[in-house]
């Protein structure tokens, strides 16, 4: 019942406050600050943050439902919300000190400071160990130098988790995560990327040039960066799976509606066996995706290891989004290739869910590793 109420509330908000603006947002590549203002008091930016920090304190299934329903209407807004909550807030809650939580979480949970996670570089993406951004410890703090690319929320973020390496003479290379605020000297935002899909999310590069941050902005213990990064990605994959599911659901609903209305050979498309087969395949994959997603969310809530479950959900949900949106365009025929219909946008938005937060190939590696690590 609780989850049904969450779905109903988010769907009503998305339909009334977001949907009327989605087409224009996509066309103009415009981040909708006016919608963000309406989302803030409703706790969309603190979905799983504890109430003591001003968050909603939701369970992970409720969180997934929120992202799914937002993405059903606007995948770009769903992306902003899931990245902010999963790889922005969650690592601070999981690895931060009490002082760091008190300092960063309240503003993030209220949407006053939007979060981002900076890992990807020109020579580091799937290979997280290839990060070249480096941090040098000084008496004043850490000096960060490097360039991050394809940063989701990059153009609007206020609090970033930056993956960097440190090197000292007597110690091996260490990976670390630093909390960086946008107003730090040496922090710069690059141009907003002109992307195929998710066009209302301001994805950009981030430049760090002798960016000085306090020593107490180091997240976790020294050298714990890889663990923090992988934990953040596991959590983020649940959110991206939910986003992909929302896109697929929207495309499916559009296809069903169009198939019932569109007439060919004096009867609706829905009367043709081929179209019925398409719809059956689409619906089955969406239902299977939802079950995998909720299993991963339940595993996280039960404090069990959920890395493989999150990768399975992300792998399958993203594939479903691509396949379902492709069939939705096919059912619409020529109109599906026109910007007059929403399925064209769903089609563009779906593809990237197979890429970010770990490509589908990386998800298969994670799943295979879990399989092979089990005793025979």
pLDDT given for residue 170 in this prediction: 63
Do 120 and 110 share a domain, yes or no?
A: no
Domain identity same for 152 and 90 = no
Which residue in this structure is represented by tokens 């998305």?
A: 14
Q: Which domain holds residue 139?
A: 116-226
pLDDT tens by residue, the chain, 376 residues? 899 999 999 999 999 999 999 999 999 999 999 999 999 999 999 999 999 999 999 999 999 999 999 999 999 999 999 999 999 999 999 999 999 999 999 999 999 999 999 999 998 878 777 889 999 999 999 999 999 999 999 999 999 999 999 876 666 678 999 999 999 999 999 999 999 999 999 999 999 999 999 999 999 999 999 999 999 999 999 999 999 999 999 999 999 999 999 989 999 999 999 999 999 999 999 999 999 999 999 999 999 899 999 999 999 999 999 999 999 999 999 999 999 999 999 999 999 999 999 999 999 999 999 999 988 7
Query: How far, rounded to the nearest angstrom, does the alpha carbon of residue 8 sit from its chain's CA centroid?
Result: 22
Residues 168, 272, single domain; the answer is: no
**H-helix or E-strand spanning residue 289:** helix 273-301
Query: Can 191 be counted among the known catalytic residues?
Result: no
Same domain, 220 and 269: no
Which of the following is catalytic: 169, 191, 357, 361?
357
Question: Is residue 120 helix, strand or coil?
Answer: coil
The last residue of a domain, from among 114, 145, 180: 114
Which among 226, 255, 272 is the end of a domain? 226
- Domain end call among 114, 149, 167: 114
Query: Residues 159, 206: one domain?
Result: yes
Q: What is the 3-state secondary structure (H, E, C) of 309-375?
A: HHHHHHHHHHHHHHHHHHHHHHHHHHHHHCCCCCHHHHHHHHHHHHCCCCCHHHHHHHHHHHHHCCC
d(C-alpha 184, C-alpha 199), whole Å: 27
β-bridge partners, 179: 161
pLDDT of residue 156: 97
Nearest to 180 by CA among 193, 164, 202, 192: 164
Is 247 found in the same domain as 356? yes
CATH code of 120's domain: 2.40.110.10
User: Are 323 and 311 members of one domain?
Assistant: yes
Number of independent structural domains in the chain: 3
Check if the beta carbon of residue 238 is closer than 8 Å to that of residue 308.
no
CATH of the domain at 300: 1.20.140.10
Residues across the chain: 376
Query: Is the domain of 126 the same as that of 208?
Result: yes
**Mutual orientation of helices 307-332 and 360-372 as an angle, nearest 10°?**
140
Looking at the structure, tell me whether residues 262 and 356 fall in a common domain: yes
pLDDT at 374: 87
**Rounded distance, CA 123 to CA 360, Å?**
19
CB 29 within 8 A of CB 194: yes
| Distance separating alpha carbons of residues 18 and 72, to the nearest angstrom | 11
Question: Cα–Cα distances in Å, from 298 out to 95, 302, 358?
Answer: 21, 6, 21
pLDDT of residue 125: 77
Residues 215 and 265 both lie in one domain = no
Residues 71 and 18 in one domain: yes
Task: Tell me whether strands 142-151 and 134-137 are parallel, antiparallel or unpaired.
Answer: antiparallel
User: Which CATH number does the domain housing residue 81 bear?
Assistant: 1.10.540.10
Shared domain check, 160 and 210: yes
Q: For residue 289, count CB atoms less than 10 angstroms from its CB and return exposed for 0-12, middle for 13-18, buried for 19 or more.
A: buried
Bridge-based pairing of strands 157-168 and 114-118 is parallel
Query: Looking at residue 127, what is its pLDDT?
Result: 78
Helix, strand, or coil (residue 225): helix
């Amino acid at each position: 019942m609780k989850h049904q109420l969450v779905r109903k509330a988010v769907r009503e908000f998305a339909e009334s406050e977001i949907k009327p603006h989605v087409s224009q947002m996509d066309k103009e590549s415009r981040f909708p600050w006016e919608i963000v203002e309406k989302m803030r008091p409703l706790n969309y930016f603190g979905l799983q943050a504890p109430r003591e920090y001003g968050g909603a304190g939701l369970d992970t299934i409720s969180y997934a439902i929120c992202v799914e329903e937002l993405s059903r209407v606007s995948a770009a807004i769903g992306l902003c919300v899931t990245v902010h909550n999963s790889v922005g807030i969650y690592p601070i809650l999981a690895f931060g000190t009490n002082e760091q939580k008190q300092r960063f979480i309240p503003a993030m949970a209220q949407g006053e400071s939007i979060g981002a996670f900076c890992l990807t570089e020109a020579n580091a993406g799937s290979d997280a160990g290839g990060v070249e951004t480096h941090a040098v410890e000084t008496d004043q703090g850490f000096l960060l130098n490097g360039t991050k690319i394809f940063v989701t929320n990059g153009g609007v973020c206020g609090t970033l988790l930056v993956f960097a390496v440190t090197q000292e003479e007597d110690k091996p290379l260490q990976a670390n995560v630093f909390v960086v605020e946008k107003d730090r000297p040496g922090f710069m935002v690059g141009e907003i990327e002109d992307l195929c899909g998710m066009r209302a999310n301001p994805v950009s590069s981030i430049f760090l040039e002798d960016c000085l941050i306090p020593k107490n902005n180091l997240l976790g213990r020294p050298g714990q960066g890889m663990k923090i990064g992988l934990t953040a990605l596991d959590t983020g994959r649940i959110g991206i799976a939910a986003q992909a599911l929302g896109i697929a659901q929207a495309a499916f609903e559009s296809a069903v509606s169009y198939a019932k209305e569109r007439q060919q050979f004096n009867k609706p498309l829905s009367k043709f066996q081929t179209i019925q087969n398409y719809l059956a395949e689409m619906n089955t994959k969406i239902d299977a995706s939802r079950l995998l997603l909720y299993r991963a969310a339940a595993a996280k809530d039960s404090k069990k290891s959920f890395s493989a479950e999150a990768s399975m959900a992300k792998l399958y949900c993203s594939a479903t989004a691509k396949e379902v949106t492709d069939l939705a365009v096919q059912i619409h025929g020529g109109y599906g290739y026109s910007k007059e219909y929403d399925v064209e946008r769903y089609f563009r938005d779906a593809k990237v869910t197979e890429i970010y937060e770990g490509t589908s190939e990386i998800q298969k590696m994670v799943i295979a590793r879990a399989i092979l690590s089990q005793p025979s």
